[in-house]
Structure 1
C-alpha cells in the first residue's frame, strides 16, 4: 500500500527525531564522562563516581528526550548538545525595580530564574529554581537566598563570586542557555553547560515565565 504524503512526512519527522536524540546522547555522554574524569583526578572519590556513573544514563536520556520533544525558541546544535543564539555585547544587569515588581507579585516555588554571576573579571548567566518563598526573600535551590530586589543574602557561594537575581524573560534566559560569557564586559568564548543545566533549559516555560512548566507542556 502506497503511503500518503502526511504519513511520509510523519515518518520523516520521526527519523529526524531519532537522529537528533542519538546525537544528543552521544554529546552528553562524551561531555559528562570527560567532566567525571577531571573530577576523579582532582578529588578521587570512588563511591561518588560510581553513583554518578550509575545515574548517568537516566539523566542523559532524560535531557535528550525533553530537548527533542520540547519547544525552545533557540537554535539547537545537536552534535555538540548546546543551544545557540546571537550574543549581546554586554552581560545582562540587575534591574532592582523590575526585580521588586516581578518577585513581589509572581514569585512561586518551581519557577526557573536567571542569575548573573561575576567571578573575577568573568561574567556569565546561570539558571536556578525557586524552592522557598518568604514575605521579603526568595530562595534558589543552588545559590541560596536573595531579597526581592535581586541582591544576594546568603553565604553559600564563595567570596570570590558575586551573584544577582534577574527577571525571568527571554533576554536573560538566552545567555544562560547558550553559555554566553563576558571578560571585563567584552564578549568571550561560551562555556559548556553541565547536564544539569541542560535539563533545566528544558524546564523553562517560554510561553509564561511566571509559571512552572507543567508535565503536559513539556
Structure 2
C-alpha cells in the first residue's frame, strides 16, 4: 500500500476528523490567549494551522496504525494517554548525591551515564529528546551539537552544557534538565504527566509541536528517529 493510500484512508475516518477538531479547538484557544506583536503575526499563525494540524493528526494515526508507539491515542482530547506512575520517572536520574571513596553514586553516576549517551557520535540534530521543566517533561529536539565545548542546544530549551560542574550545578542549569531518554521518561513526556513532589497532578497536554515530534520517536532505538 502506498503512502498516498494510507493518507487517504486516515483522512476518511471519523477518528481523523475528531482528532483534527480537537487540535483546532486547542490551537485556536491558545491563539486567542496569545500575546502577539502584530495582527500579521496572528494571521500567519492561523494560516499555518491547517498544514500542521493535518500533518500532526496523520502522523499520530499512522504511528498507532503501524504499531510504532506504546501510547494510546485519545482522539477526543487530541492527545496521547498512558498510565501515570506513582512517582516521577526522572527520580532515578537525580538521586541524592553520595560519593564514597572512588565510587560514583547518585547524581555523579547518573551524570556520567547521561553525558556518555549525548556525547556519542551518532547523536545528531533533529533527534527527539526529553527536557525536565520543574514538575513535568517536555519533548524537544536537538538543533545543534557543539563537540568542541561539550554542549548541546535544543530548539525550545536552549543550551545544555555536558561538563561535570555545569550538569551538577542546579544554579547554573536553572529549572531545566536534559534527561537521558528511556521508555518511562518518554511516555511521561508524550502524555504530559505531572507531579508535585511525589504526588500526581493533572496532565498537561503537550503542544502541537510536541505532538508532532512524538511521532518521530523510535521506541526501539531512541537514537534513530522515525520518518513519518
TM-score normalised by length of structure 1: 0.79
Match of 2:127 in 1: 111
Distance 2:37 2:207 in 1: 20
Point out where structure 1 has 5 or more consecutive residues left out of the alignment: 1-13, 154-158
**C-alpha spacing 1:205/1:152, structure 2 compared with 1 (3 Å):** farther
Q: 2:11·2:17 contact (CA, 8 Å) conserved in 1?
A: no
For this pair of structures, how many residues does the alignment match?
191
Greater shift in the superposed pair: 182-191 or 93-102: 93-102
Greater shift in the superposed pair: 160-169 or 56-65: 160-169
Match of 2:153 in 1: 139
Match of 1:173 in 2: 186
Q: 1:132·1:138 contact (CA, 8 Å) conserved in 2?
A: yes
Q: 2:128·2:139 contact (CA, 8 Å) conserved in 1?
A: yes
Match of 2:96 in 1: none
Match of 1:98 in 2: 113
**C-alpha spacing 1:16/1:53, structure 2 compared with 1 (3 Å):** closer
Distance 2:54 2:165 in 1: 36
Render the CA deviation track for 1:52-109: whole Å, top value 9, x for unaligned.
0000000000000111112211111111111111112222144312202211224222
Q: Does 2:86 match 1:86?
A: no
Greater shift in the superposed pair: 187-196 or 17-26: 17-26
Helix, strand or coil: the match of 1:108? Answer: coil
| Match of residue 129, structure 1, among 124, 141, 152 | 141
Distance 1:90 1:38 in 2: 32
Distance 2:14 2:165 in 1: 43
Shift of 1:148: 2.7
Match of 2:101 in 1: none
Greater shift in the superposed pair: 96-105 or 187-196: 96-105
Helix, strand or coil: the match of 1:76? Answer: strand
Distance 2:156 2:165 in 1: 15
Distance 2:165 2:214 in 1: 23
Render the CA deviation track for 1:10-40: whole Å, top value 9, x for unaligned.
xxxx58971221111010001101111111x
Match of 1:8 in 2: none
Q: 2:10·2:16 contact (CA, 8 Å) conserved in 1?
A: no
Distance 1:45 1:33 in 2: 17
TM-score normalised by length of structure 2: 0.76
Distance 1:190 1:26 in 2: 20
**C-alpha spacing 1:53/1:104, structure 2 compared with 1 (3 Å):** same
Runs of 4+, deviation exceeding 2 Å: 14-17, 42-45, 147-153
**C-alpha spacing 1:113/1:160, structure 2 compared with 1 (3 Å):** closer
